[in-house]
Amino acid sequence: MNAVTPVVLGMLSLGPRSGYDIKRVVDHSTRFFWAASYGQIYPELRRLEQEGLIEGEDAPNGGRSRRVYELTKSGRDALRDWLLSSRFNVELRDESLLQLFFADSLAREEALRLLEDRKTAHEQLLEVLHEIENMPGGKDPDFVDLVLRWGIEFNEWGAEWCERHLQRLRGETKAA
């Protein structure tokens, strides 16, 4: 498995989809913590089909060529094996934190602006996540909803953390 394999297998476990459909769903769900581009999805679909983990069927849509994929038994088994693997790798790549780490090389106000921008990013992402939360169409499956809750609570905490430390670094409060 590579980094995009579980995304593709997982999306197909939710039902048959084209590469375009997978990307559309990713852009409104997993991209907040695990992105996948068209340049990753389409080659992976071809590879997984060659390995027998998925099956594709041509399903043109108007004048456009389109191939819809679904999991095979082997694909379901591979997804299950990945889901039940005992290794957990929590990896955070956060360019904003990297900028804050090196912000001492900036003028104080420039460095504080980085923290302000991070707070704004958390607030903007919260707006997007609340829009997703309030989308019509019924309730998400329990664990999809669980991950959405994590995103909302993480970004609420992130915005509060930024505000608290902006005040501290400006000398408006004692160390938090």
How many domains is the chain partitioned into structurally? Answer: 2
Q: Tell me: pLDDT of 113 over 90.
A: yes
pTM for the model stands at 0.80
Task: State residue 60's pLDDT score.
Answer: 82
DSSP 61: B
For the segment 52-92, what is each residue's pLDDT rounded down to a tens digit?
999 999 998 887 889 999 999 999 999 999 999 877 778 77
Dihedral angle over CA of 79, 31, 140, 130, nearest 10: 160
Identify whether 174 is part of a domain. Answer: no
Please check whether residues 41 and 70 belong to one and the same domain. yes
Among 83, 117, 137, where does a domain finish?
Answer: 83
Range of the domain at 151: 95-169
Q: How many CB atoms lie within 10 A of CB 21?
A: 17
Same-domain status, 111 and 79: no
60 located within any domain: yes
- Specify if 125 maps to a domain: yes
Residues 30 and 75 in one domain: yes
Alpha-carbon distance values, 50 to 15, 115, 159 (Å): 20, 47, 45
Going by C-beta distance under 8 Å and a sequence separation of 6 or more, which residues neighbour residue 82? 1, 5, 6, 9
Same domain, 99 and 146: yes
Residues 120 and 58 in one domain: no
12 and 35 share a domain?
Answer: yes
**Same-domain status, 78 and 18:** yes
Order of strands across the sheet that contains 17-18: 17-18, 67-71, 54-58
Same domain, yes or no, for 78 and 16? yes
Q: Tell me the average pLDDT of the chain.
A: 92
Q: What is the pLDDT of residues 127-144, one digit of tens each?
A: 999 999 998 887 888 999
| Cβ proximity of 119 and 166 under 8 Å | yes
Q: Are residues 141 and 162 in the same domain?
A: yes
Domain check: are 109 and 73 in the same one?
Answer: no
Name the residue type at position 60.
P
The answer to whether residue 154 is domain-embedded is yes
13, part of any domain: yes
